[in-house]
Amino acid sequence: MQFTKLQGLGNDFVMIDARGIIRNWSSLAGRVCDRHRGIGADGLLALLSSDKADFRMRIFNPDGSEAETCGNGLRCFVRYLYEQRLIENATCTIETMAGVRPAKVINKPEGGTEIRVGMGSPEFNPDRIPVAATPEKGRLIDIMLGDYPLEIAGHTLKLNFVSMGNPHAVCFTDEPVAGFPLQNIGQAIGMHPLFPQGVNFEIARVTGDDEIEMRVWERGAGETLACGSGACAVAIAGHVLGLTTTNVYVILPGGRARVDWDKTSQAFLTGPAETVFTGEWPE
């Protein structure tokens, strides 16, 4: 089975053209993503045909679970399509479990290539995130983006909840995120009953009107160098809370991504994606 390894901001994926192939992708993802006995990746991307868009993307985490969407995975997916000349021009649409997403390849005048993808509109309804928190009064957005207190692993966290097609819990801090105990906290939050389908947890610090630094613990993968949907969740939460502008650069351990959201349409994520290597999986 031929594969291509790609990465976007250090968030790495194994890409397989799965059209016409029948496999247990969940089981395969665990073996392929293993960094000691497999190829090593944060996720497995399967390219499939679609009757709703130009192509369909499925993404499987290293633990075998299937994710609704993934911003960096989507950008890597589009980069593969572009390099393989599977799309005739620089634009296309991709079907995901979270909906159809538009994408565009941007060849920068100064050199280099970036991929811009639509990430859908944010959702603040607790049933749609989902989060087991019931608002008593006021608008849902006031409850979901209102520093919901949670005692966990000896820490008091103030969480903000956003869905980008997948669930996110965002915690803003005044301290540099590099010193935050994400390994322990992220795992504990991911298993908390407040989140019936698990959650992606982001610790973030606003460093300017148009800049936020963040780290992420991804559901099904653990800490990763970047998370596109997480970057969008952090940028949107920051803007709604009045901390940032509508166009924000999110600084992740793997690099910088741009998030644009004007409150009236879907959010857009822009950043680099590139092929690392190709190979053949022996199974």
Q: Residue 140 has what pLDDT? A: 53
The rounded distance, in Å, linking the Cα atoms of 193 and 176 is 28
Report the range of poorest mean pLDDT among 23-27, 58-62, 138-142, 267-271.
138-142
The rounded distance, in Å, linking the Cα atoms of 213 and 69 is 22
Q: Residue 110 has what pLDDT? A: 84
Is pLDDT larger for residue 251 or for residue 139?
251
Question: Mind listing the pLDDT tens digit for each residue in 65-107?
Answer: 999 999 999 999 999 999 999 998 899 999 999 999 999 999 9
Q: Residue 143 has what pLDDT? A: 58
H helix intervals, 10-151: 25-33, 71-83, 140-144
Question: Mind listing the pLDDT tens digit for each residue in 131-184?
Answer: 987 655 445 556 577 788 899 988 899 999 999 999 999 999 999 999 999 999
Q: Which of 55, 145, 35, 131 is CA-nearest to residue 100?
A: 55
Rg of the Cα atoms in the chain: 18
The rounded distance, in Å, linking the Cα atoms of 250 and 256 is 6
Name the residues annotated as catalytic.
Answer: 70, 227
The SS3 call for residue 116 is strand
